[in-house]
Amino acid sequence: GWAAAQRPNIVLYLSDDLGVDFVGCYGNKAIRTPNIDQLATQGVKFQRAFAASPTCSPSRASIYSGMYPSRNGLMGNHTGSKEGVKSLPQYLGALGYRVVLANKVHVKPQSVYPFEMLKATLPPDPNFPRRYRAEGLDDRAVDKFLAEHAKEHPDQPLCLVLADNNPHVLW
């Protein structure tokens, strides 16, 4: 296998309520998503990815565990996976990765999803009050984290999950 310093960094960008039809790199000509489009040219762009569930928590648990909700146990929103399920932080952590989740978690228990957490949520905007969710991902906090990681852990590969809830419906 590769030495830890040779392993590629991984960025997984998850965005609530943002469908494939709303992103330029997947063919939308009207909505401008230049940063996502650029990222798509530099990494892996999924062509056949499907949600394992129509709700948030089960979908996230499936992505992080590689298992359908009926297998990992997290089948309903705000429920938890079965103890003993292995997930992204365990698999990549064993390979020397620092596995960090920025902003929205929405999976449990922490023993199954032991991400290092990065507080990267925008402060509330009084002009647009949200009843059931926080603001979106704070890219300044992410930039600061990345600079610190490069300085303090230059040889450690990073898996960074950017969980952005900004497009989520307001309710």
Q: What digits encode the pLDDT tens for the residues 101-130?
A: 999 999 999 999 999 999 999 888 888 777
Query: 100: pLDDT confidence band, cut at 50, 70 and 90?
Result: very high
List C-alpha distances in Å: 45 to 12, 41, 49, 60, 116: 11, 8, 10, 18, 25
pLDDT for residue 28 is more than 60: yes
Nearest to 19 by CA among 138, 167, 171: 167
Residue 159 annotated to the active site? no
Q: Among 14, 52, 56, 88, which one carries the catalytic annotation? A: 56
Mean pLDDT of 67-82: 96
Q: Whole-prediction pTM value?
A: 0.90
> Helix or strand or coil: residue 121?
strand
CA distance 114 to 96: 14
Q: What digits encode the pLDDT tens for the residues 48-73?
A: 888 899 889 999 999 999 999 999 99
Asked if 162 and 14 count as a contact pair (C-beta separation under 8 A), the reply is yes
